[in-house]
Structure 1
Amino acid sequence: MNPRMIGGEMVSWSDLDGIRAPGPAGGAAPARLIGAAGVAGRVLVAGPHDPTLIDALPAGNVTVLVRGVPDAEALTARFAERPDVTVCCGGLEKLGAEPAFDAVVALDGVGRLSSVEGAELTWGEAFDQLVAALAPGGRLLFGMANPVGAHRLVALPAEPTDADWDHPGEYDLSRPAGLARVLARLAEAGLDVDRTYAAYPSPAAPAVLLGDAILADGAVSGYLAAALSRSFAASAARGDGVAAAQAGGPTGWVLTDPGRLARRAVRHGLAAELAPGWVFAARRAGGDAAGELPEAVVDGRRIDRDPVRGWVGDGGACVPPGRTLEDLLIGAAVRREMGEARTLLARWQGGAAAGVAADQVIVGPDGGLVAAGPADAAALRAFAVTLVRLGLARRWAPGGADEVAATLAAMADRDPAGGDSRDRLFDDREHDGGRPPDARAFDELIAERDALARELAGAVAKARWYERTLTEREAALNRARRVADLLAPAGPARAGAAFVGGARLARRSARAILRRVRPRV
């Protein structure tokens, strides 16, 4: 089976290898979504998608459209045993002769559907052609990156990649900006949106998809914050974090911790607006609404709303309500409620969640603690590092993270030198607050620099004070030594005494001589 060349093929270009541009759309969360979205019949997969997403499609009639010849050949070889998969290579505008499709999967959006060998389509033109390929009542799974998402807000300025040859990107006036405008554009195209998902930690390969309903439920904000924090940490550990997505390589540097920014977005109800991307499950007017779409997908598990039990995941496990322990401890520190902080620390370090990072522990309404993430060998010190970076360390203890961690351990009635490997205070490896040491943030670097600058300024001030004090005391000592030398018996004082005594003796001798030579009257 050979790929079908439909025109506008790019002979030496690949969107799948991720070398000269970000990689294809993929991830475990979109795969779960495809399986639940009722995608069936004649299906078009438009743009670069990870082959595992195509594997998630049911057997039927699948057409895959890519613009690069190397990608088309690789996909043809990959699906050689599936006669129901047809690979087409070329530009989107060349697909007009194909019959309408029952479903279109375009999780990568429309930015990579145009070819330099064909028509240069604007975002609006490409989107209209994509919708035109959808049959009446057909389903559309559409992904879109957010130009002001968390991944862009923390990314460093990047050099244009080879994929940005002449594409206006966010400066394309036909491209809607912001979630509300995107939804309005979908409605204008005659699409009914069944579900909108906030995609984290990246628009291309999200691990977490959060629907509007679960984002609006503040009772589970702690669980969502913990999930987003884990997703960014895992992305950084794999080397495919936000910096890599923007700069075309795993630079490992960002302006600030994107996980912390995502947790703030959840706390303030902005997780949808600041999401790195969105995924829309829509249908052409006249189609039936999809009834099996999950409300959320977290860690590869779907989450739905039960009218009695609340949010429930696969296997019947309920989503724990409450806020993260980190949020509550930081709030107590800001308010200087040390009694509340001591109670939380003792409950944390005295229970089964002692070895879990504070941002992965959910504190329920009843005060119970639920571990939402994996164990961390130095969880207490990781929280101490967080306090230092937030500028709150001096409210707990002077010094650096080690001193703060020791203070936290004492507040929790715990021996800093004790404990087993599960929850020991200090670890042999360098610990960076739950994030890999190669995923550093410039704001953290600046905070560390400022802390070192303050320490250096204090040390210089002390050195100057010591020098000034030493100089003053040395001068006073010299003055005292001179006075002592003047008053000492063996020194100038003795010479002075001898001089005074000699003068007195001379006066007595002179008087005696005068008496002898003076004539008597």
Structure 2
Amino acid sequence: MTTDTSPRIALPGGEMLTWSDRPARRLPAGGPLAALAARVVPVGARVLLAGPHDPELVDRLAHAEVTCLLRGWPDGAALAEDRPVRVVVGGPGGLPADETFDVVIAAAGLDAVESVEGTPVGWDELLRRFAAVLAPGGSLLLRVDNPVGLTRMVDAAPWYVGRDDADWTIGGALDAGRPANLDQVRDRLTGVGLRAGGCFAAYPDPAAPTVLVDTGALAARPTSAVLDAMLHGACARDRSDGPVLQDPARLAVDALHAGLGAALAPGWLVLAHRAGDSPIPAVPTPGDETGPGALPVLWAQTGPPGIGVVEVTAAANGWRWRVPGPVAAASEAPFATRAAAWRDPAVLTGPVPEGRLLRTVLLDACLRRDLAAVRRLLRGYADWLDAHADDAGRLTGATALASLDNVVLTDAGTPLVFAVLDPSWRASDPWPVDVTLARGLWGFAAALATGGYAHPWPSTLDVAGLTVVLAGTAGRDLDRATVTAAVDAEVAVTAALRGLDGADRVALADELRAVEPTAPPPGLDSHQQLREAWLRQKDELTRLAALLRWTEELLTSRERALRRADATINLLSGSLSYRVGRLAITPARLAKRGARAAKRRAKDVLAPRHGEEEQR
């Protein structure tokens, strides 16, 4: 044991002196998890943080008295160095036996508390110990990973190989000592005297979730546009994230619409409460409309810039947007440094549009090859854009960025009614309505073509050609130049949304401009999508080979016909009748040639005389 310890670090034994559990990925301000933790911890509460957590989360609990229970000495030393918290390094053996806490947070899971320097106690025993230190009326926030969740379904490496240093033991559905689904989690909580409360599905990574959704909302609103868009955006992968078996974004949306958004979530964050009275205010449940402390139904890390976490709260008249903390209207950057899009968080205060996401409805119509529905949706979308354009045919604000994945079909009657889902992103300059329409259709066409979706149009069309066809279906005449301008606009907007600049923006532009139907979706390294792209390339090569064979057969037949004609000419030129005819016309040919020569000589003689007469 080292003697160089801080007075705020306790080493009761069982500490791992060289091991660190520092999170590999950290979100700004701790992300949705830190926002949830800050909401469930009342002011002045005694809090036990069990296991490694993002230091940003610790900062969000400055209004409480925090004790951190860790197993790695480096983590404890780093935490106690610059934060006013008490740190206990010792694994489960270091749990204070004579103290109680108002809130216990184990958002890293119970396995991250076990230490190899002590005797393993198991998942159930750890839960019992944490429940025992909860004060009457206290709350437990517990993370549980899903052994058959979406992450394990799409990972290229099997979950059971365990090649990481931290995989001392590998838990899965076969381990009866830990819960494998939400019902088992609730049963175990009841077994230790706790009452299960709210539960949030964590996407896409339970260790650093960018979206937390109330499981009740997932079950009650499987076709919700905001849930569709948030889960798709959270699970969208990049090549830097490594290969996957299939597109997790597509699988997450399918699970949502099948009512399995909670069952197939990568992990859960469960709130549980101990019975009894407490001087600390009780933690509300998600969707509770009783007061300002009600928990939202959704937290989402929406990316740069301006906003960290956006909330969706439940009210009597529906769901509403909310941005935590004081929000001031964003000001546009100077023209020289202004991006194509900017964000105004002040507008995220109104109702969340209810309905289905236009991209999902249109994709369903394409898969069913329902051309009438496709035509109606696309024409309604184009008419809606035209209705918001000014007299010069230009769109401004959020409508200029209204692509199919940010538009909600709020009413499928006659006429169709649309609304922008997230109105906080706005175009810096007015856009021609044709460019906005082409950008939305190009994104959908690229998803159709590169994703391998069945659709009612020829497979030989490239992405730009399919965009033009979609525009024609919408009753609009777009040319390829407009589609090219739309791709450039997509590059600029995506760079603004992701905060890209310089080389990253150039790489993005090259990637989007090179999108072809025979290529996999841009930015996704999926084995399933790569196989589908290979099959499309195989079909294209088969078509080209058939075309080449037909061309060769055509050339061969023409060559044979030419040879037959040449043989016929040679045969006729050697016959007696041909020779007699040629001798018969030879004098006429010679006479014609002589007449032409005499005519030229006469012109040459008469030309000077005609000039002299004109001079006289």
TM category, shorter: 0.7 to 0.9
Q: Give how far 1:157 is off.
A: 0.5
Gaps of 5+ in 2: 1-5, 285-292, 301-308, 323-347, 389-398, 428-435, 492-508, 580-616
Residues 262-341 of structure 1 aligned to structure 2 (within 5 Å) = 262-286=252-276, 290-291=283-284, 292-299=293-300, 300-307=309-316, 309-314=317-322, 316-341=349-374
1:160 pairs, out of 159, 162, 166, with: 162
Q: Give how far 1:472 is off.
A: 4.3
When the two chains are superposed, the root-mean-square deviation of aligned CA atoms in Å is: 3.3
| Contact 2:409–2:417 (Cα < 8 Å) also in 1 | yes
Q: Give how far 1:320 is off.
A: 1.0
Per-residue Cα deviation, 1:79-128 (whole angstroms, up to 9, x for no partner): 0xx2xx10111211332534122210111111111112112232223222
Q: Which piece of structure 1 moves more, 180-189 or 294-303?
A: 294-303
Q: Give how far 1:293 is off.
A: 4.1
Q: 1:491 to 1:109 in 2, by over 3 A?
A: farther
In the alignment, the residues of structure 1 paired with residue 277 and residue 549 of structure 2 have an alpha-carbon distance, to the nearest angstrom, of 80
The aligned residue for residue 82 of structure 2 is 78
Matched, 1:395 2:398: no
The aligned residue for residue 418 of structure 1 is 482
Q: 1:338 to 1:397 in 2, by over 3 A?
A: farther
Q: 1:281 to 1:396 in 2, by over 3 A?
A: farther
In the alignment, the residues of structure 2 paired with residue 23 and residue 12 of structure 1 have an alpha-carbon distance, to the nearest angstrom, of 21
| Contact 2:90–2:115 (Cα < 8 Å) also in 1 | yes
The aligned residue for residue 518 of structure 1 is none
Q: Give how far 1:319 is off.
A: 1.6
The aligned residue for residue 9 of structure 1 is 15
The aligned residue for residue 192 of structure 2 is 189
Q: Give how far 1:283 is off.
A: 0.7
Q: 1:395 to 1:489 in 2, by over 3 A?
A: same
| Contact 1:68–1:89 (Cα < 8 Å) also in 2 | yes
Q: Give how far 1:306 is off.
A: 1.9
| Contact 1:222–1:324 (Cα < 8 Å) also in 2 | yes
Name the % identity. Answer: 34
Matched, 1:45 2:53: no
Matched, 1:442 2:527: yes
Q: 1:459 to 1:420 in 2, by over 3 A?
A: closer
What secondary structure is seen at the aligned counterpart in 2 of 1:460? helix
Q: Give how far 1:414 is off.
A: 4.3
Residues 97-112 of structure 1 aligned to structure 2 (within 5 Å) = 97-112=97-112
Matched, 1:222 2:225: yes
| Contact 2:14–2:117 (Cα < 8 Å) also in 1 | yes
Matched, 1:212 2:215: yes
In the alignment, the residues of structure 2 paired with residue 305 and residue 186 of structure 1 have an alpha-carbon distance, to the nearest angstrom, of 27
In the alignment, the residues of structure 2 paired with residue 335 and residue 438 of structure 1 have an alpha-carbon distance, to the nearest angstrom, of 27
Per-residue Cα deviation, 1:288-307 (whole angstroms, up to 9, x for no partner): 75233414133323333222
Q: 1:23 to 1:91 in 2, by over 3 A?
A: farther
What secondary structure is seen at the aligned counterpart in 2 of 1:266? helix
In the alignment, the residues of structure 2 paired with residue 165 and residue 53 of structure 1 have an alpha-carbon distance, to the nearest angstrom, of 25
| Contact 2:464–2:483 (Cα < 8 Å) also in 1 | no
| Contact 1:362–1:372 (Cα < 8 Å) also in 2 | yes
Q: Give how far 1:24 is off.
A: 10
What secondary structure is seen at the aligned counterpart in 2 of 1:440? coil
Matched, 1:261 2:251: yes
Query: Residue type of the partner of 1:418?
Result: T
Query: Residue type of the partner of 1:319?
Result: V
The aligned residue for residue 372 of structure 1 is 421
In the alignment, the residues of structure 1 paired with residue 315 and residue 576 of structure 2 have an alpha-carbon distance, to the nearest angstrom, of 102
In the alignment, the residues of structure 2 paired with residue 354 and residue 336 of structure 1 have an alpha-carbon distance, to the nearest angstrom, of 29
Q: 1:219 to 1:267 in 2, by over 3 A?
A: closer
In the alignment, the residues of structure 2 paired with residue 419 and residue 452 of structure 1 have an alpha-carbon distance, to the nearest angstrom, of 24
In the alignment, the residues of structure 2 paired with residue 485 and residue 420 of structure 1 have an alpha-carbon distance, to the nearest angstrom, of 57
In the alignment, the residues of structure 1 paired with residue 243 and residue 132 of structure 2 have an alpha-carbon distance, to the nearest angstrom, of 41
Tell me the number of residue pairs that the alignment of Structure 1 and Structure 2 aligns. Answer: 473
The aligned residue for residue 501 of structure 1 is none
Q: TM-score, normalised by structure 1?
A: 0.81
In the alignment, the residues of structure 1 paired with residue 29 and residue 262 of structure 2 have an alpha-carbon distance, to the nearest angstrom, of 20
Q: Which piece of structure 1 moves more, 281-290 or 67-76?
A: 281-290
In the alignment, the residues of structure 2 paired with residue 227 and residue 391 of structure 1 have an alpha-carbon distance, to the nearest angstrom, of 22
In the alignment, the residues of structure 2 paired with residue 472 and residue 450 of structure 1 have an alpha-carbon distance, to the nearest angstrom, of 33
What secondary structure is seen at the aligned counterpart in 2 of 1:169? coil
In the alignment, the residues of structure 2 paired with residue 390 and residue 110 of structure 1 have an alpha-carbon distance, to the nearest angstrom, of 41
Q: 1:47 to 1:228 in 2, by over 3 A?
A: same
In the alignment, the residues of structure 1 paired with residue 89 and residue 46 of structure 2 have an alpha-carbon distance, to the nearest angstrom, of 18
Q: Give how far 1:163 is off.
A: 3.4
